[in-house]
Amino acid sequence: APLIWSLGLTQAALTLLLIICCSTQEYRAPPFIPNISFLWAWNIPSEGCAVNFNVHLDLNLFSLVGSPRKNARGQNITIFYNNRLGYYPYIEDKTGKVMDGGLPQTGNLIKHLAKVRKDIDHYIDVDMTGLGVIDWENWRPLWIRNWKPKDIYKNLSIELVHQQHAELNDTEAAKKAKADFESAGRCFMETTLKLVKDLRPNYLWGFYLFPDCYNGFKEIDYNGSCPDIEKKRNDKLDWLWKESTALFPSIYLSSKFESTLKAALYVRNRVLEAIRISEVHSVKHPLPVFVYTRPVFEDLVNTIGETVSLGASGMVMWGGLNVSQNVQYCTDLDNYLKSTLNPYIINVTLAAKMCNQALCQDQGVCQKVHSGLLSRQPSYLQQAIKPSCERCPPYTWRKGSSLSPKTKRCQEESK
């Protein structure tokens, strides 16, 4: 499709659309980078393609580029796995080895925070601006969400209570174990966020996979909706949303979706739940939502297209170490970028930008109101966007603050 087009609306009709559209009281976070209406980030260890095989990938469309490799430093997007930020207590999934206490209630929070300081200094320069993503997936902060195989954290927590309080019966021990686990887990996550925000206030910080809504694939009657119980559980994590300065949900697709409408339903509901959570603590100053996806998905319309059209702040492309393991992999990725991914990114980015300019006067983002495709065609703007522009208020970066009395109490309890 040509890049130059006319809006095809009379001035009066356009003015009416602007009044209807941009007078809604819903808000979205403003662009993280000025004049970049939708942020594209590349968090894939592809640097080996150029170094080892002289295959130079075209990543010019990505405002943020960073490798998740352990030896990568000074990047504007940095992901911290469980062994790269402090002393996160967990149990190795494959070996069962206990790491740094294993359970949050047996971890050493003081030692952990001291190590966090060193790790942040190692990986991120003081004055850098970017995204900081903490990827702690071994246990979940809500007790009830640690289902198999993560129930090992529940079982060991109950065993620990029995060891410390032999007088308690199983029901009493389980109740105390739940309280101890959730309190300690919250302390680890909450104080870590407070500290990294204080150390690198020009970064946006949050946890990967938060929020999640557990709307996985079902063979029959699948509508992609987030179960009400999971929304309520997300609401219980209000302390986490309060400390986060960005949200990083994931839309990784299972092979079961196979480019079907179910894929769009899956993605749509996950992104909408993240947008809902982004407004928990301030409707007028919502958190930016950066959605994780992978470049291996052929279904760009139902992943990237759906996410952009719903009003997210940006997308992060993530990939494993195998993307640059040989020249064929690198060549395939290069061809995919040139022939498929980059052209599609250009298309949806321009569509979003032109919609924002035409209907929201660059004061917000367009959000579609039905399941049609995001398009640069005038007819799409007339039919699909009318009531859905989201206004962006003046936004003040929420700087990281010093440790609060609650944080200090958590530290004392961890000794």
Find out whether the peptide bond into 286 is cis, omega within 30 degrees of 0. Answer: no
Closest CA to 103 of 35, 157, 64, 42: 157
Q: H or E stretch including 154?
A: helix 152-164
- The end-to-end CA distance of the chain, in Å, is 63
Residues near 155 by Cβ (< 8 Å), separated by ≥ 6?
none
Q: Give me the helix-helix angle, 170-199 and 109-123, nearest 10°.
A: 30
Using CA atoms, how far residue 42 sits from 186, 225, 306, in Å, is 30, 29, 19
Residues near 385 by Cβ (< 8 Å), separated by ≥ 6?
17, 21, 355, 359, 366, 368, 369
3-state SS of the chain: helix, strand, coil percent to 5?
45, 10, 45
In the 8-state DSSP scheme, what is residue 258?
T
Q: What are the residue numbers of the active site?
A: 137
d(CA 137, CA 208): 8
